[in-house]
Structure 1
Amino acid sequence: MTTICVKHLYANFRDASHRGVDLKEKLWQAATTYTKRDFGVAMEELKALSQPAYDYLKVIDPSQWTKSSFNTFPKFDLVVNNLSECFNAYILQARDKPIVTMVETIRKKLMRRYQLKREVIDKWENTITPWIVAKFELMHDLSIYFTPTYAGCGQFEIHNASRQYVVDLEKRTCSCLRWDMTGHFTTSNVRAFIALIANNPIYAEDALLESPSHPEWKTSPTGQTNQLQAPVGRVKMLAKQQPSKQSARLMGHHS
């Protein structure tokens, strides 16, 4: 999948005389939204601001610059080339050397990096990486604004104040498309996940690592499978918690 860095796209967009904070915000909104509906809304709002700016973007293939048209298979949603720029900065000292020396310099840098990572990993006692744990905790805080309704077979309808989503924990999909696109937790699928394991905490670790089929569920010391009982009526919710300061800042940023 070949994508255009939206920072560079915006620079060309601005140089083509499409200037102003409003146009910049709408371009980035169109680039970072996950659904085609939201992309269409952003583009129509940009069109209302400037027809020439709309025409400029309309001729560019959406699959090259907006998340709403990305393929969900690679689990990739970056719209900037920060990764390649970081790598170029990382090998900067080696780039001007002869080929063999350059490769050897990069190899040694990577060996040192891998050893440092191994030392950190050896001290970590959880089976889930620290970054994922921190992300899950943040999404847990934010998920208090969402209410799940169980639909059976691992499917939930998730509501918040303004929108609703369909989450399928078995297929690992969400109608917001963020889970499909990145494979990472979102507030909606975290709330569904919490509702699913509320009375079955032994299921949590496996579900975080992967979504197991019935034969792969953990068994208790007695040898009995910890089966999930479908809730009757509305799913019993966990007690609501006040979001952390970081969560509150995020919610304020997105509101």
Structure 2
Amino acid sequence: MNVFTICSDRQKGLLQAVPTVFSNCYHSYCMRHLASNFRSDFKDLLLERLFRRAARTLRESVFKETMEKIKAKNERAHKWISNIPKENWASFYFKGDMYDVLTTNRSECFNAVLKDARKLPITSLVEHTRHQTTQFIQKRQKLGSSWHTKLTHYAEERIESSLRESCQYTANRVRTHEFEVKSLETTNSVDLITRMCSCRAFQTYGLPCGHAVAAINITEFDPYDYCDECFDAERYQDTYVEVVHATLDRTQCHESPEPLMTILPPLAKRPPGRPRTRRTDRELKG
């Protein structure tokens, strides 16, 4: 069974529902919603920035240092954050794959598209959704077909950044697949088989970090050999290869030989208390 990650705003029973329904997944809490709730309680921009820094850092030392700064400035804020399991919001402690995605912004974009359509009748709502989905796929088909690189533009930019960064490192082979990568200030360990670096960027982003590229450069391999398949331009194009076909109007639809099923509305709920009787007050007195 595949293990995947769900990012949510923790609302409307999701804290109980996600581990029950998706017991094989990791649950990430949306940082935008957490920061919004934090801002409502403390109204301190510096504290919020420290909170976001603690969420994004990939080094445990930086996480602990940032949390201590929050505690020194406001102990109540530190307690508020500490009451949220760090395994669900802090990048360093999160066990699943996040790819540097800490918010539900992508799903919120879909909600925004359908915002005005929610008031439409159901058939119009479905047709509006189909039309928007068609445009969404069409746009990405055109974008993907314009690429002539091995990876998506996002991944290509990250690889270029890692290539530039690798120039400042010196890599030494420890054994066949393990390397020690040094700079003037830091030393990191890279394992090419597990695709892990002690800086945690390699395994978090799914793309070689600068340390990993420095290690790869002294092998016969290429940095592109160590990128997650989800970043392949060809995979992106395959994602949007299908289309949502147009809906025919009723005059062009074939009548079904099966009898139509009548779906009745749900029964109205009875008001609380004893059921009413038809007896009048006079009958009760008699």
Per the alignment, do residues 156 and 88 of structure 1 end up closer, same or farther by CA in structure 2, a change over 3 Å counting?
same
Distance 2:228 2:201 in 1: 18
Match of 1:117 among 117, 137, 140: 140
Match of 2:73 among 49, 61, 86: 49
After superposition, the Cα gap between the structure-2 partners of 1:156 and 1:2, relative to the gap in structure 1 and judged at 3 Å, is same
Per the alignment, residue 171 of structure 1 pairs with: 194
Instruction: Check the 8 A contact 1:155/1:169 in 2, yes or no.
Output: yes
Counterpart in the other structure of 1:228: none
Query: Secondary structure, in 3 states, of the residue corresponding to 1:3?
Result: strand
- Whether contact under 8 Å (1:70, 1:77) holds in the other structure is no
Percent of aligned pairs with the same amino acid: 26
| 1:207 to 1:42, Cα distance in 2 relative to 1, 3 A | closer
Task: Tell me how far apart the structure 1 counterparts of residues 228 and 48 of structure 2 sit (CA, whole Å).
Answer: 39
Which of 150, 157, 173 matches 1:134?
Answer: 157
Q: Deviations over 1:34-53 (max 9, x none)?
A: 23333222212222222222
Which of 61, 64, 67 is the matching residue for 1:40? 64
- 1:1-255 equivalence runs, <5 A: 1-17=26-42, 19-21=44-46, 23-72=47-96, 74-197=97-220, 203=222, 205-208=224-227
Q: Within 1, Cα distance between the matches of 2:227 and 2:32?
A: 34
Per the TM alignment, residue 67 of structure 1 is displaced from its structure 2 partner at its CA by 1.0
Q: Give 3-state SS (helix, strand or coil) of 2:159's partner.
A: helix
Residue 57 of structure 1: how far off its partner (Å): 1.4
Q: Which amino acid aligns with 2:76?
A: P
Give the aligned residue type for 1:59: N
Matched residue, 1:225: none
CA deviation profile, 1:11-66 (whole Å, cap 9, x unmatched): 33233336252x23321221111233332222122222222221221111112221
Kindly tell me: are residues 98 and 167 of structure 1, through their superposed partners in 2, closer, same or farther at Cα, counting changes over 3 Å? farther
Q: Which structure features the higher share of helix residues? A: 1
- CA RMSD in angstroms comes to 2.6
Instruction: List structure 1 runs of 4+ shifted beyond 6 angstroms.
Output: none
1:149 partner SS = strand
Q: Which amino acid is the alignment partner of residue 67 of structure 1?
A: S
Q: Which TM-score applies when normalising by structure 1? A: 0.68
Unaligned runs of 5+ in 2: 1-25, 230-286
Write the letter of the residue equivalent to 1:133: E
1:166 Cα offset (Å): 1.2
Q: 1:14 to 1:150 in 2, by over 3 A?
A: same
Which structure 1 residue ranges, 5 or more long, are not aligned? 211-255
> Cα–Cα, structure 1 residues 18 and 50, in superposed 2: closer, same or farther, change >3 Å?
farther
Which structure's CA Rg is the greater one? 2
**Residues in 2 aligned to 1:48 and 1:63: alpha-carbon distance in whole angstroms:** 23
Q: Indicate if the aligned counterparts of 2:50 and 2:66 stay in contact, CA closer than 8 A.
A: yes
Q: Which amino acid aligns with 2:198?
A: S
Q: Kindly tell me: are residues 53 and 129 of structure 1, through their superposed partners in 2, closer, same or farther at Cα, counting changes over 3 Å?
A: closer
Checking the alignment, whether the CA contact within 8 Å between 2:59 and 2:199 is kept in structure 1 is: yes
The residue identity in structure 1 corresponding to 2:29 is: I
Opposite residue 72 of structure 2, the aligned amino acid is A
SS in 1 for 2:111: helix
Is the contact between residue 75 and residue 180 of structure 1 (CA under 8 Å) also seen in structure 2? no
Query: In the superposition, relative to structure 1, how do residues 79 and 129 fare at CA in structure 2: closer, same or farther (>3 Å)?
Result: closer
Q: 1:161 to 1:102 in 2, by over 3 A?
A: farther
> What is the distance in 1 between the residues matched to 2:139 and 2:43?
47
